Structure 1
Amino acid sequence: MICPACNIKMEPLVTGIYQCPQCKKIMKQEAEKVEIDKQKKFEEDGFHEGEYFHKSVSLNKQYEICEKGIIIQKTENRMFAVLICHSPLLKSEKYIRLSWFKKSFYQHAGMIKIYDKEVLKNIIIVLEKIDKDFDDLWTFHGKFRKTRKKTKEQQEKETKLDIIKYRIIENKTCPKCQKKMDKMKSHYECQHCGEIVILEGYNQPIFNIAPSDLDLTFQGDFPINYYMPVAGITVKWLMGEWKALVVIYSKDNPNKKWLRFYWWTRDLQNILKYGQREMGEGTQMGWKTQKGVSSPNIYDKKLLKPLIDALKKSAKELNWDFDNK
């Protein structure tokens, strides 16, 4: 792509977006024409049969079975799809898998798995927030958690969490069954229901938060390596698992931004045994990327709306009914 002002070749930032190395002007190229799917068995609601994906992409039936899926974007070297899958051993336990594939033979490039409807609901809400508060170049126009005026619902959620923390600190009350927990070296443990509460700096209790209790506001504090966060929102937070949608940028070029789905886990055994100082090398606060996630990136913001639509259709297929208003 040639810069109209300098008449020199522009450099690609992300797919479809270029920057002039001389005047730093940023321009978008016309969207790449998506290859028309020639498959005949294509349902009216946009779903392809699962066998189509097993034949077309690197999806191994030994590990998971795809029942059906919706293609969000497909080119000669890339495919992005929303799949409904289940384990080969447990057909009744279905989940949604966001899958990215690369190269001409559609090799695995990234994935995120969604196992319950409350997390899916959060993801849809967050995608809508990102679509609203970021422009086409992923420039943030929203507000962070500390500066945004809290809604009544957010205030109620915050109050609920404060009460849980207070009861843990004062009475060792289990956040799950409300019974008294036992104090260990670096955590509380409930002998009644098995719930565990970790104690971080100054005896601050860290416990599992239900997806419905997350306030879904923008923040910038994430355990991200290599890239820098612009803003993101947590959609699932457990002591050993964290999922978030974050717009990030390259340290070498702040103009190169895109959306990434993050899925972190941490080994609680080391934390419970040794405390916060022994949480593993190469991790931030013990968090490390879930194995197999790879690079679940969205570079073109125009994909958000069809993705949201596909997720809602998939939720309906799974009878994960929820009011997303």
Structure 2
Amino acid sequence: MNTLLTNAISAVRLGVEDYQSPDRARLTSAVRNITAGVLLLFKEKLRRLSPPSSDEVLLKERLRPTLSSTGQLTFIGAGRKTVDVQQIKDRFEALGVSVDWKRFDQLVRFRNDLEHYYTTAAPAAVQGALADTFAVLRSFVTVELEAEPLDLLGVATWHFLLEQSTVFEAQLAACRADLDKIDWPDAVYADIASELRCVHCHSELVKPVETDVEYLQSLEFLCTSCGEVSEFDDVVGEAISEAFAGEAYIAMTDGGDPPIVDCHDCGQHAFHVETGACLLCRGTLQHTECAFCGESLGPDDQDNGGLCGYHKWQVEKDA
């Protein structure tokens, strides 16, 4: 077994041992080690796909063109630095390698949040990370590494991941069932609900304290992981950012209108352009088109007295 694969297995096993430790300070280390182990398994796949005598070209961050003895152009790996997460995604996509990226991204986001925003990790929140790990490895190891997870990671490690995933998924299903009881005002909230997390420990195990509320904004959410209760704006506000992160990135890189902008009523970054309403305060546009030219007006134009930016400037100039 090569060093890369050995290190990957060791990292996952160490992460499981960290989680099993009674020392809660090791929970962050558990997430860090497990995430590192999964990334190393991804890199092992790139190593295997690299042509012989290419200095593991697909594994390296930099590629160097060279000519073979027959004059054919080839590429070899340059330097010691290996690919980052985005490069792994790009190369896997180009090579047709399948990964459950949604679950993996959740794992990485949780690791990053632990390192930057939270001082401690709740065991149930880390259990969610283990469930994500199980989901990713179950198919990747079997299909892409052509191995049985039970054999690769060991009976004890794999059975533990399976057990934690089963328990967590059952708890998550119960929370999601309670969330489904909420009378959301628009279908767009279905995507947002799937991104709801506790703002204290980042666990997915959140559910409404009560579902029968007169106003949407009066909803409160209980985290069954850490026991904290959070307000609607805090929980849903963070979920909005995650739910539309992909569309926002495409709009930023390829051009076009962003899906979410600042609300002219509450000031939060929660106004959904497509539905014309704020996803937090439910504020809508008072002025929808310019009184002079008929141009569509957005949230930024609401203080212009029913005019577009150009005609507001014209009116002020002529005043």
Q: Same fold (TM over 0.5)?
A: no
Question: Could you state the TM-score of these two structures normalised by the residue count of structure 2?
Answer: 0.23
Of Structure 1 and Structure 2, the greater helix share is in 2
Higher relative CO (CA 8 A, sep ≥ 6), structure 1 or 2? Answer: 1
Of Structure 1 and Structure 2, the greater strand share is in 1
Question: Could you state the TM-score of these two structures normalised by the residue count of structure 1?
Answer: 0.22
Query: Greater CA radius of gyration, 1 or 2?
Result: 2
